[in-house]
Structure 1
Amino acid sequence: MLVNIKSGVKMIHVVGYSLCLLGILMGTVKGQTYENVNNLRTTLLTSYNADMIPLNDQSGSLNVNLSTMVFTMPEVNPVLGAITMGIMVTQEWYDERLTWTPSDHNGTMMFSMKAENIWTPPLTVSNPVKFTLLDTPWMQATIMYNGKVMFTVGGIIQFSCSFSMKFWPFDKHICTLNLFPYGYMASKLTFTVPGVVVDTGIYSENGEWYLDTNSFDFKLGTVFGMSEIVYSFNIARLSSFYMLTVILPINGIGMLTCLVFLLPTESGERVSYAITIMLSLAVFLTVTAEDLPKNSEPLPIICVYILINLIICILGLLFVVLNLIVYNRTEKDKMANIYKSTVKFTKRKWFRSKVKHEPPRKKSSARIDVKSKDAFTDPEDEIADEDIEWKDVSDAIDKILFVLFVVVTYIPSIIILIYTAAASEYVRG
């Protein structure tokens, strides 16, 4: 029973509020004829000065409420250190010189006029790429009978942000948009932000950058003695495009260096193959140079990654040339024991199984002392010193270099990419 009574009372209040609102609207519509509004406008602007702050007491302070909306972020330029963003800022304040009694003007509650006819806050960006004043005098300002003025400004603006490119292309940034009333000291004009900090309900997403629409925050301060509001927000680069067009191709080209040691020396294509890989990597870096950051403070980790690939490619070419010299030596050249040990090491079964299959070698007629062998050595792995040739040495070096280059190419690449992606965090610009 009690619940029904409360529900009925609540319903009565709702109906009452609705009727009051309907009455106000009907009265407003009825009174807003052209003559009424024109006469009211003429009366209000007769002694109005748009150059003066609209306070009867000029020693007082005016408070301006800001409601900001972001609807697009078409460009983020880390090289220039700038963000292009589309914003709209609705400013609300009470103009003590623009008040009237609705009953004296046939119930006129509100009307609109061009903003150039009244005083408006000179909202300015304090961290612009170039001086930006958010002022659209041709826009309409809405004026209420109690002096409340609502005026919306905005457009596509460009403001600065400092970008830390250490974790490119997985970089994340905290950027700020700073606004202040140009020419008015903090003692004369202050900002407040009622309700939602920034409305992103109609935001159109950027294809390259992710804007965290829930990260908008603000703080109030002063700049050059004037009131300032600082909006901060988080953006992160969408790295998929760069992974497919920059990172993976460079990684793939660099890893082709390992295959040069599998080419038969007799083919005569080893040096040309290594040079082709090196030139391909250099050309690819030249083509993608415009997409890579030019910042060197801090140095992007990905630049170190690319440098490692280039150094490995150059070392591969160097080792190929040196190994060709070994391959073309003759029996007249004395063979050091280190070369013989290298061949014997690569002839062991466990090593052959990890690199490639070796055809059975003709056993030497020289006698081998089985008793002197190491307990971990298979007698079938042994080869007599007299059977080792310079071609065997070259082949053994190729096997070792192939394994070594696979390790130094893949492991650093995996470590660098994982670290760059995992360690990236939002950095305030």
Structure 2
Amino acid sequence: MIGTIKAETYEDVSNLRSTLLTSYNADMLPVNDQTRSLNINLSTMVFTMPEVDPVLGAIKMGIMVTQEWYDERLTWTPSDHNGTMVFSMKAENIWTPPLTVSNPVTFTLLDTPWMQATIMFNGKVMFTVGGIIQFSCSFSMKFWPFDKHICTLNLFPYGYMASRVTFSVPGTIVDTGIYSENGEWYLDTNSFDYELGTVFGMSEIVYSFKIARLSSFYMLTVILPINGIGMLTCLVFLLPSESGERVSYAITIMLSLAVFLTVTAEDLPKNSKPIPIICVYILFNLIICILGLLFVVLNLIIFNRTKKVKMAEIYKSIVRFTKRKSLRRKIRVEPLRKNSTAKINVKSREPVKVFEHRRADEDIEWKDVSDAIDKILFVLFVVVTYIPSIIILIYTVAASEYVRGEQ
């Protein structure tokens, strides 16, 4: 026995199309009872995120959204049309949801009339739209360049109230199987979630996701150079005062930090809530550098004083403080008696309680005072520069968490 196989022909599909569209109005909601609402199932896919612009507050993302609904005006019996069960036609010929981004940088309508919609015999319509879209996201830059953000993509059916068109997500929230990674930003592909709501009285679906900046580039080009420049600020106190280069050296370092502050500001949104910690960090280093320049100038004034300027006791104390180790190595002498000379106790070599302060004070010059101040300032600036820097960097890395920017 030989069976026959029915296969739809061009004429079968063409006749079916003409029959379905004879009394079809693409401007009306495709339900027989116009008091009912139409539910649309959404399946979303993300395939790229080519650009994230925190300064503009925008993200470019490549998405495809497959919409499925039942069109009660597009049903037929397959046996009446040579077994035809499914066919496609341009979306402009039938009703399709005007899917729109509700948080766009510029108005974005995903509905494309020339794209094909797939129609099944039971009225099920599958229509896929998408492309590279740009939508807004508010960035909190407090922990830049270790910042993490929660952004949203909001979609709604433009022109249809919530009582007429509703959304639902029956399966996977967002498919990221073919996602192409961004070199600067990490997209947590497992973080996609959604929330159904309303906007302007229309149904809205809000997709939320997490992104984090890959900070390695900024560590090498911003953070480490700033730390290196901070070290150079401390070294200004090791330069000999006779070199005549101390002031120009300090000014050069200060200008370098100012350049880094300018470069960093270009990558940040022009708002002050919240202020990025890294800007405070750079400003702190800049202030330290300015203080270093101020102390260098004042110390040069002390260095160039002559013996005619009377030396206060505090300056002599500073010199004695910086030379206390060398003084301890000197042979100590017994207390001086009137009309007698001090003798050294060679046998016992026991320490005696009094130094020869008078002789040491007579040898102190203003140059010695300047050198002593340089030693103290060097140690002080090393501590002030590096301890706060380490604390700030550790806090910035450890405290950074995913936050939703203020809208």
Q: How high is the TM-score relative to the length of structure 2? A: 0.90
Q: Are 1:67 and 2:43 counterparts?
A: yes
Name 1:188's counterpart in structure 2. Answer: 164
- Displacement of 1:295 in angstroms is 2.7
Aligned partners of 2:377 and 2:353: how far apart in 1? 23
In terms of fraction of residues, the more helix-rich structure is 1
Deviations 1:122-153 (A, max 9, x none): 11111111111111111110000000000000
Give secondary structure in 2 for the equivalent of 1:412: helix
- Displacement of 1:287 in angstroms is 4.3
How many residues are paired up? 392
Which residues in structure 2 correspond to 1:220-259 (within 5 Å)?
Answer: 220-259=196-235
Counterpart pick for 2:109 among 123, 133, 137: 133
After superposition, the Cα gap between the structure-2 partners of 1:94 and 1:321, relative to the gap in structure 1 and judged at 3 Å, is same
Whichever residue aligns with residue 285 of structure 2, its letter is N
**8 Å CA contact 2:47, 2:179 repeated in 1:** yes
Q: Are 1:200 and 2:176 counterparts?
A: yes
- Displacement of 1:110 in angstroms is 0.2
Q: Are 1:285 and 2:257 counterparts?
A: no
- Displacement of 1:114 in angstroms is 0.4
Name 1:90's counterpart in structure 2. Answer: 66
- Displacement of 1:378 in angstroms is 9.9
Aligned partners of 2:42 and 2:389: how far apart in 1? 49
Q: Are 1:319 and 2:295 counterparts?
A: yes
Give secondary structure in 2 for the equivalent of 1:392: helix
Counterpart pick for 2:93 among 117, 128, 135: 117
% identical equivalent positions: 85
Aligned partners of 1:117 and 1:131: how far apart in 2? 24
**8 Å CA contact 1:363, 1:383 repeated in 2:** no
Aligned partners of 2:163 and 2:317: how far apart in 1? 86
- Displacement of 1:280 in angstroms is 2.4
Name 1:409's counterpart in structure 2. Answer: 385
**8 Å CA contact 2:188, 2:209 repeated in 1:** yes
Name 2:127's counterpart in structure 1. Answer: 151
**8 Å CA contact 2:42, 2:67 repeated in 1:** yes
Aligned partners of 1:322 and 1:212: how far apart in 2? 54
Ranges of 4+ aligned residues in structure 1 off by more than 3 Å: 283-289, 360-364, 366-371, 375-383
Give secondary structure in 2 for the equivalent of 1:166: coil
- Displacement of 1:209 in angstroms is 0.8
* More displaced stretch, 167-176 vs 381-390: 381-390
After superposition, the Cα gap between the structure-2 partners of 1:164 and 1:380, relative to the gap in structure 1 and judged at 3 Å, is farther
Name 1:102's counterpart in structure 2. Answer: 78
Aligned partners of 2:111 and 2:384: how far apart in 1? 59
Q: Are 1:331 and 2:307 counterparts?
A: yes
Give secondary structure in 1 for the equivalent of 2:266: coil
**Aligned Cα RMSD in Å?**
2.8
Aligned partners of 1:418 and 1:78: how far apart in 2? 23
**8 Å CA contact 1:348, 1:382 repeated in 2:** no
Whichever residue aligns with residue 115 of structure 2, its letter is M
Name 1:35's counterpart in structure 2. Answer: 11
After superposition, the Cα gap between the structure-2 partners of 1:110 and 1:77, relative to the gap in structure 1 and judged at 3 Å, is same
Whichever residue aligns with residue 266 of structure 2, its letter is E
Deviations 1:247-291 (A, max 9, x none): 211221122111011011111211121122122222343344423
**8 Å CA contact 2:261, 2:279 repeated in 1:** no
Deviations 1:406-426 (A, max 9, x none): 011111111111101100111
Aligned partners of 2:124 and 2:361: how far apart in 1? 102
Whichever residue aligns with residue 118 of structure 2, its letter is T
After superposition, the Cα gap between the structure-2 partners of 1:325 and 1:132, relative to the gap in structure 1 and judged at 3 Å, is same
Aligned partners of 1:42 and 1:151: how far apart in 2? 20
Give secondary structure in 2 for the equivalent of 1:236: strand
Name 1:390's counterpart in structure 2. Answer: 366
- Displacement of 1:377 in angstroms is 8.7
Aligned partners of 1:377 and 1:140: how far apart in 2? 101
- Displacement of 1:296 in angstroms is 1.2
**8 Å CA contact 2:238, 2:378 repeated in 1:** yes
Give secondary structure in 1 for the equivalent of 2:106: coil
After superposition, the Cα gap between the structure-2 partners of 1:321 and 1:159, relative to the gap in structure 1 and judged at 3 Å, is same
